[in-house]
Structure 1
């Protein structure tokens, strides 16, 4: 299990243990973390699971593919470096300690 920390825009923290093979979005959804809507269910067809990855983790995650890059154009206030869609981040043991910050709004 990997411990993922989801931080709401208000500063409220949710430390969740997520099974490898799941996505960061599924971990949030299955544990009731507010602010990650995941309207498309993880199909990379919306941007409602957008987060800002903690700077220390940016280079440790797999690169964004073109589909994720395209969907991030629709996210609220995307950051060219730190923005990610949680449905596109598969959890592995190496992600233990990952920190993501949930934006104030989801579009």
Structure 2
């Protein structure tokens, strides 16, 4: 699937993610600035925080309880906030747009 990360400066990075791959791993593979993934995707930090584009909110779903608690560590949390390590690539998400916060 393809995913686009919109950066705070307005630039966009579009890249591929394999089915089942989490989008933090995909972001790191495509050198997306602002996505650090310090914990490696173990839900113990919020350094892969993104905003899901409103057009994709329903398809991505809401964070589960533990992710929701971890999002409290993120700066400028919004209703569309997710940890990209908790979003898995799938055919339903082909074309997904994620916005990288200015943190």
Query: Is TM more than 0.5 here?
Result: yes
Per the alignment, residue 20 of structure 1 pairs with 19
Moved over 6 A (4+): none
Provide the TM-score with structure 2 as the length reference.
0.97
Per the alignment, residue 90 of structure 1 pairs with 88
Per the alignment, residue 75 of structure 1 pairs with 74
Structure 2, unmatched stretches of 5+, are none
1:63, CA displacement in angstroms?
A: 2.8
- Counterpart-to-counterpart distance in 1, 2:10 and 2:83: 20
**SS of corresponding position for 1:6:** strand
Structure 1, unmatched stretches of 5+, are none
Is 1:7 paired with 2:6? yes
Per the alignment, residue 99 of structure 1 pairs with 97
- Counterpart-to-counterpart distance in 2, 1:91 and 1:18: 6
- Counterpart-to-counterpart distance in 2, 1:69 and 1:4: 23
- Counterpart-to-counterpart distance in 2, 1:99 and 1:23: 14
Question: RMSD of aligned C-alpha atoms?
Answer: 0.7
**SS of corresponding position for 2:92:** helix
